[in-house]
Structure 1
Amino acid sequence: MNAPATSAMAEGLAQVQAEIAAACARAGRSRAEVRLIAACKTFPADTVRAAIACGQTAFGENYVQETKDKWPVLKEEHPHTELHLIGPLQSNKAREAVALFDVIHSLDRPSLAKALSRQCENQARRPAMFIQVNTGSEPQKAGVLPEEADAFIAACRALYQLNLTGLMCIPPADEPAEAHFDLLAKIAARNGLDELSMGMSSDYAKAVEHGATHVRVGSAIFGNRSYPPADR
């Protein structure tokens, strides 16, 4: 990673950290309550290393295959880093996901819960998990529907015995995000879940003001990304 790119990334990371701190102050929250996940999908390992050198420790990836290619060496070099799966997960990738990730944000259906539960038992690993809620009930988007969330949360706890820690959402692009953040917070509160994964580059400050404990920020830190030619 060349020096100008490294400088721009460091400035972006510092700006995001400052805006999170400001949003916490406006909401009367402690900065320690919010975890910044640097969404580094499609960016090379050297970019991640530069972010680690700036003090960033939590990173988000979307693709299992990309993570397998990029992260074993990074984890060996930097065992203190925390790796989050923030993209959709196929049930047949559950074994690899449990082995690779410390936190999974995209649990959204019984078949995936069953596959993850089996792999957690087989591997004696218990990644923290967030249930993705489709707060806008968008047919093209992954996530359990809001009206089905309570039952799915109960099943993930009692039937699948997963290490469930919170909820995640991606609000509709054409609607104010705040109502969706508030809906997610209400579902979490009535189910005794303390963690909320919500907010991306365009709305993370609003998410913090509405209770986010994890924000997933990519382009505001790393700049525009080049996507792979096909989903991996």
Structure 2
Amino acid sequence: MLIEVIAIRAEDVEAAAAGGADRIELVTGIAEGGLTPSVGLVESAVKASALPVNAMVRPHSQSFRYSEADLAIMLWDVGAIREAGAAGIVVGMLTETGEIDRSALERVLRAAEGLDVTFHRAFDEAADQFAALRVLAQYQQISRVLTAGGTRPAPQSAPHLRQLREEADRLGGIRILGGYGLHADNIGPFVQESGVHEVHIGSGVRQGGSFMEPLLPDNVARIKRILSS
């Protein structure tokens, strides 16, 4: 079981590594669902541990639709993230009708050649998640889809996530990364019910369950023990 942890500071990366996390999703603007971190933050996060760091590429939180100006910024950010030493990017875009914006996605994927790519929770607003998953599986660069199975916390959508995971297994080459609302008290039953092989943890490993508080290595370690038992 792979454990990905959200980091918003370099200190979070150190704490996550100390607790036994496997990968970092690096973001800023967490109150807005995650925005692109600064180049300085990416560099600091990469230097903080040996964990792979995947940085969010999201220029604004108004929607998952991007203008030409937005895309120009995103393409520049991908290059900067690469130069800063990150292992990958986290990105997602939809059309006005809730389908994958293939044109925009392909432009970003070209810029991200050689980087690991996660399609983020824009997926949870797709009009048809199974159709969206089949589209994303066509791109070998996309390793996984981060999803809660919808707009509710992931534990409430575990049966649906199992169906998505089974479809991803059938398609091959793409994985379901389950996340949103996970913590030590619910992650065991969630994994058993959903069958996902990767989990994404945010506030659930922080003191008091709040992004305003520190990330605690012991909380990461506790989840790791639960998932290893």
Deviation string 1:155-194 (CA, Å, 9 cap, x unpaired) is 2332x546115322325xxxxx432323333345xx3x43
- Mean alpha-carbon deviation: is it higher for 99-108 or for 139-148? 139-148
Which residue of structure 1 aligns with residue 43 of structure 2?
Answer: 53
* Corresponding residue of 1:180: 186
Give the conservation status (yes or no) of the 8 Å contact 1:94–1:112.
no
Report the AA paired with residue 43 of structure 2: A
In structure 2, the residue corresponding to 1:170 is in which secondary structure? Answer: coil
Structure 2 portions without partners, runs of 5+: 1-7, 47-52, 110-116
Q: What does residue 229 of structure 1 align with?
A: none
The residue that corresponds to 2:148 in the other structure is 133
Q: What CA distance in whole angstroms lies between the structure 2 residues aligned with 1:168 and 1:131?
A: 7
Structure 2 equivalent of residue 115 of structure 1 = 132
SS in 1 for 2:224: coil
- Cα distance in 1 for residues equivalent to 2:193 and 2:224: 13
- Deviations, residues 44-80 of structure 1 (Å, cap 9, x unaligned): 97x6111133243421245543862432112224434
8 Å Cα contact 2:57-2:78 kept in structure 1: no
Corresponding position of 2:49 = none
Measured in 2, the distance between the counterparts of 1:84 and 1:113 equals: 20
Structure-1 separation of matches of 2:160 and 2:221: 25
Alpha-carbon offset, residue 20 of structure 1: 1.9
Whose relative contact order is higher, 1 or 2, with alpha carbons under 8 Å and at least 6 apart? 1
In structure 2, the residue matched to 1:152 is 164
Please report the TM-score for the alignment, with normalisation by the length of structure 1. Answer: 0.56
Larger Rg: 1
- Which residue of structure 1 lines up, in the alignment, with residue 113 of structure 2? none
Displacement of 1:210 in angstroms is 0.8
Identity percentage of aligned residues: 8
User: Which runs of structure 1 show a deviation greater than 6 angstroms over 4 or more consecutive aligned residues?
Assistant: 42-45
Cα distance in 2 for partners of 1:180, 1:59 equals 26
Q: CA deviation at 1:17?
A: 2.6
**Which runs of 5 or more residues in structure 1 are unaligned?**
1-11, 172-176, 213-232
RMSD after superposition = 3.9
CA contact (8 A) 2:26 2:42 kept: no
